[in-house]
Amino acid sequence: MSNNIMGIDLNVDHNFLEAAVRDTVLTAIASAMDKEEVVQAIVHEALSMKVDEDGKVNSYSNYNRYTVLEYYVKTAIRDEAVKMAKEIIDEKTPLIRENVRREFERQETVDSLVGAFMKSLTSTLKNEWRCKVDVSFDRDRDDDEIRF
């Protein structure tokens, strides 16, 4: 069947027509409902949508384990915990550095490090494959401060 009437082509794009009808129906439904009710329904739908651990809707539905609200609350708490941990570490860095320095100055620690190095070296040398060992120390500064 032809959509040509009196030389005028009435062929309408199916996708355009579908979108226009859908928008008209949704507008009619929204105007018939209470506006507060519509907003509440939209917010509820948006917040209860299931997402994966990255906050995205995954095409494999089993990965969508969290609601959007759960995802954002979890993310906000994790971000704040990381910030707080960084602040505390920055605050305590001098104390941490001093304790690490003292630990490295203890003879037991030096003996333990040397023992672990020698054990690793001897087990590597026993290997049938060739082993090249190169140990070097470079001084970047003039002072004797240990840097991490």
Q: Which residue has the tokens 């203890």?
A: 106
The pLDDT, as a whole number, for residue 24 is 87
The pLDDT, as a whole number, for residue 78 is 93
Q: Cα(76)–Cα(79) distance, rounded to whole angstroms? A: 5
Establish how many alpha carbons lie within 13 A of residue 32's alpha carbon, considering only the half-sphere containing its beta carbon: 6
Average pLDDT for runs of 10 along the chain of length 148: 59 76 82 77 86 90 90 93 94 91 85 88 73 72 58
The pLDDT, as a whole number, for residue 10 is 63
Q: Are 3 and 13 in contact (CB under 8 A)?
A: no
The pLDDT, as a whole number, for residue 2 is 56
3-state secondary structure of 40: helix
